[in-house]
Structure 1
Amino acid sequence: MMPQPNPTRIRFIVLAGICVGAALAYFTRNGVGPAESTIRAELGISKEQSGMLMSAFFWPYALCQIPAAMLAQRMGSRWALSLYGVLWSLATAGLALGHLAVMIGSRAFMGVAQAGLVPVGTTVMSRWFPKTAQASASGAFSGFMSMGSIVAAPLTAWLVVSVGWRWMFVWYAVPGVLWAIWFAVWYRNRPSEHSSVNEAESELIGEDQTNGTNEPGAVPWRLLIKSPAMWFLCAQQFCRAAGYIFFASWFATYLQEARGVTILGSGWLTTLPLLADVTGCMFGGVLSDAVLRWTGRPRLARQGLSATALLLCAGLIFSAWFVAHPVMAVLVISAGMFCAATANPCLGATVMSLGGPHVATVSATANMCGNLGAAAFPIAVPWLLAHAGGWNAVLGGFGALYIIAAVFWLMIRTNSSLFDHSPKA
């Protein structure tokens, strides 16, 4: 008898590909934050206007989640993500024009172009990975999002000093176009369509049982809207995204104004919580899958782990109030972000479980709500600074968001698909 061939590893190249795309997307979207004070000074705009510039990305990004997922369902993940990559790169280049209205429009268009990244990426993982590895894949995907932010923070600060922020945005537009070309040429929507996938890998993935392999048909919106689990999932995502976006918007300014750190120093220090986010995402995915294998209890592995981690995050953020040294304070906050990040892959695995044949729609709905929170928080910061006690109030609100998110995680009580009782399409 001939020995069975080992499974090929094309699924890991697929994962690496969407991880690189996620890193580039976050790299471009977060390029404004570290340069915020320089852009504000050169253009002569107020902090309120600067907040509008940073938040302009998130409103269309949030509202276009579901349309982008629906378009990707028609086009297929291969062509949709390639198109989105080219469009967000063009929007990045538009920021170099330097007129406030044009920059706000470019940020908004970037939000439209990147709206499909998470729901389509989640669909890709559900098609290319077995259920026992989906949290780990989701952890890598989430981690590379912050990897893009990590690279952006010090590189942006260095380029602002070296070549100016306008040329910085021009250079930032190039990698996304190159990635989109590669993805369009190499990727295939399903393992069975890729010539390099052998039968052993296809069997390991379990393609015939993988979420999203078959056409899902019409979305039963009534079941989705009536589901308490969906509401709680969206609510926790609203709070977590609002908390996370502090690092991509006002954190560098916080370090400069509240802690007396230089622009270059703030650029480097901003990488610490983002690095903690990367490692926390990857660790959380492995840990969540391990807890599921050990206990066989999805609620403990997903909801329980997330709630515990978010409460630990809030406690560490509040404790940073009492740390005077700026580097030590950032390290404490970074430890909190490591804890918070372990919930990211739990969200991805939960969406794949609850989404059934409509993974992209459930992911898009949750991500839409998350980015409404991300859009609101940068605007709320100037109000908190002026009326609620300065940067301490901002830090307090930042920590409180994670406590609220933990409560919503504990309220999610279902181990089955949201659409188990939907009529056949």
Structure 2
Amino acid sequence: MSTMTTKVRTYKRYNILLLVFITVVINYMDRSNISVAASAITSELGLTKVQMGLIFSAFAWSYSSLQIPGGIVVDYVKPRILYPFMMILWSIVTLVQGFVGSLGALIGCRIAIGAFEAPSYPCNNKIVTSWFPEKERASAIAVYTSGQFIGLAFLTPVLILIQDALGWRGLFIVSGILGIVWALIWYLFYRDPNKHGKVSKQELEYIEKGGGLTTHITVKMEEQEFNWKDLRLAFTYRKLWGVYLGQFCLGSLFIFFLTWFPTYLVEYRGLDFIKSGFLASVPFLAAFVGVLLSGFTSDFLVRKGYSNELARKAPIIIGMFLSLAIIGANYTDNTVLIIFFLSLAFFGNGLASITWVFVSLLAPKKMIGLVGGVFNFIGGLAAALTPILIGWLAKDGDFKPALFYIGALALIGFCSYLFLVGKVKRIELVE
């Protein structure tokens, strides 16, 4: 068998990508189940929209603030150890949410989940950077990122049915158990490229020649010492600020769908709770199509010899522009048109969601985890601020100002990638 693995080209990177995809689905299930439970929690505990906004936002307080430390941890701790450790902890807290009964306890649980999930996306990006050559990387990022959309598209109705059968407390308990089981599966099956017993020499060479950092990751974790100068450098470059600001704007639309969207449909648009679950899945499916179209088209253009400025930036710029369509929902009471405008906006959000590829392409080689942490930190600020702002803007039951706010940020994100990012080229540090 060992002879065969050295002579036959394997494709184990796709198995790894499947693991990451399912992990993202689990990750976002535990982020979004609170939005499904929101109406029931509000009713049972007597919470206001502003208080519910605080609960939605609490996850991002810790998630965002720990992105930079999380990115540093990712540069040192092997994903096989780090990921299941994180998953077990956040899944236990998810389960505990089913037993609490106060505003403070719910906020505390959401803060804890955010803390334990903080290194997850820098870890995803690190894994893809090590397992995939550059010409396949946008597609790989699109596939695992699509997990947050396709997972929520199909899981939202399922989560609503679970809550209908077991109550909101049962919803959290079931979610937590699923996460713990998946953490054990991850530990059993994940390996780094140069530690994977079934990956062929040909596949490793293909990844390395294409820019995959298989060897670098092992060296980094075992030999490289953290330098505080690296943290300053991560905030120095204009092109990095372009993607940081763009990620904040991108995240603001996404967090609306992750938190307030079911409430918007049920309380503001007056839809039935069960029906709203199926209608809510339509924008997530649109976003799923958008992110896959973006990733595979982007890599196709790279293979055809087009510049990164066109192949990588164009989908994001077009996607940010399409996200402005969310404002159209303010000008109609027709349910079909409302879902159309929201789906078009979320399709644009999906189209723009390959932004992680810019961390792989722009960040200095020794700082991929750190830059990914800063990138996700600033993106996470959207998740910290936007739910509270929407709760305040919609405190009287009118969501129109909130949708205008989201549309304005989409325009800012469009301008950020158009004018700030500049030439797509890795930053080389002068030692």
TM-score between the two structures when normalised by the length of structure 2:
0.92
Q: Which amino acid aligns with 2:301?
A: V
Please tell me whether residue 380 in structure 1 is matched to residue 389 in structure 2: yes
Q: Which amino acid aligns with 1:226?
A: T
Query: In the alignment, what sits opposite 2:257?
Result: 247
> How many percent identity over aligned positions?
28
Alpha-carbon distance between aligned partners in 2 of 1:327 and 1:160, rounded to the nearest angstrom = 26
Q: CA deviation at 1:390?
A: 2.2
Please tell me whether residue 229 in structure 1 is matched to residue 229 in structure 2: no
- The answer on whether the counterparts of 2:72 and 2:373 sit within 8 Å (CA) in structure 1 is no
Query: In the alignment, what sits opposite 1:86?
Result: 88
Query: In the alignment, what sits opposite 2:359?
Result: 351
Give the gaps of 5 or more residues in structure 2.
none
Query: In the alignment, what sits opposite 2:117?
Result: 114
- The answer on whether the counterparts of 2:252 and 2:386 sit within 8 Å (CA) in structure 1 is yes
SS across alignment from 1:31: helix
Query: In the alignment, what sits opposite 1:412?
Result: 421
2:107 to 89, 97, 104: 104
Give the direction of change, closer, same or farther, for the CA distance of 1:101–1:12 in structure 2 (3 Å limit): same
Query: In the alignment, what sits opposite 1:328?
Result: 337
Q: Which amino acid aligns with 1:203?
A: E
Q: CA deviation at 1:331?
A: 2.4
SS across alignment from 1:339: helix
1:312 to 315, 322, 325: 322
- The answer on whether the counterparts of 1:92 and 1:170 sit within 8 Å (CA) in structure 2 is yes
**Greater CA deviation, 233-242 or 219-228?**
219-228
Please tell me whether residue 62 in structure 1 is matched to residue 70 in structure 2: no
Query: In the alignment, what sits opposite 1:421?
Result: 429
SS across alignment from 1:352: helix
Give the gaps of 5 or more residues in structure 1.
none
Q: Which amino acid aligns with 2:63?
A: Y
- The answer on whether the counterparts of 2:134 and 2:211 sit within 8 Å (CA) in structure 1 is no
1:361 to 343, 358, 370: 370
2:127 to 124, 132, 139: 124
Q: CA deviation at 1:336?
A: 2.1
Please tell me whether residue 398 in structure 1 is matched to residue 400 in structure 2: no
Query: In the alignment, what sits opposite 1:45?
Result: 47
**Greater CA deviation, 372-381 or 147-156?**
147-156
Please tell me whether residue 140 in structure 1 is matched to residue 143 in structure 2: yes
Q: Aligned runs of 1:29-40 on 2, under 5 Å?
A: 29-40=31-42
Query: In the alignment, what sits opposite 2:152?
Result: 149
Q: CA deviation at 1:202?
A: 1.1
Q: Which amino acid aligns with 1:282?
A: L
Residue-by-residue CA offset, 1:112-151 (whole Å, 9 max, x unaligned):
1111111011000011011110000000011002233223
- The answer on whether the counterparts of 2:194 and 2:214 sit within 8 Å (CA) in structure 1 is no
**Greater CA deviation, 200-209 or 303-312?**
200-209
Alpha-carbon distance between aligned partners in 2 of 1:72 and 1:350, rounded to the nearest angstrom = 18
- The answer on whether the counterparts of 1:127 and 1:207 sit within 8 Å (CA) in structure 2 is no
Q: Which amino acid aligns with 1:86?
A: I
Alpha-carbon distance between aligned partners in 2 of 1:154 and 1:308, rounded to the nearest angstrom = 30
Alpha-carbon distance between aligned partners in 1 of 2:417 and 2:252, rounded to the nearest angstrom = 16
Number of residue pairs the alignment of both structures matches:
416
Please tell me whether residue 303 in structure 1 is matched to residue 303 in structure 2: no
Q: CA deviation at 1:242?
A: 1.2
Alpha-carbon distance between aligned partners in 2 of 1:199 and 1:308, rounded to the nearest angstrom = 39
Alpha-carbon distance between aligned partners in 2 of 1:288 and 1:207, rounded to the nearest angstrom = 20
- The answer on whether the counterparts of 1:97 and 1:103 sit within 8 Å (CA) in structure 2 is no
SS across alignment from 2:333: coil
Alpha-carbon distance between aligned partners in 2 of 1:400 and 1:254, rounded to the nearest angstrom = 19
Q: CA deviation at 1:312?
A: 2.0
- The answer on whether the counterparts of 1:128 and 1:207 sit within 8 Å (CA) in structure 2 is no
Q: Which amino acid aligns with 1:247?
A: F
Please tell me whether residue 202 in structure 1 is matched to residue 199 in structure 2: no
Q: CA deviation at 1:340?
A: 2.1
Q: CA deviation at 1:356?
A: 3.3
Residue-by-residue CA offset, 1:315-340 (whole Å, 9 max, x unaligned):
x2223333332133112311221122
Q: Which amino acid aligns with 1:354?
A: L
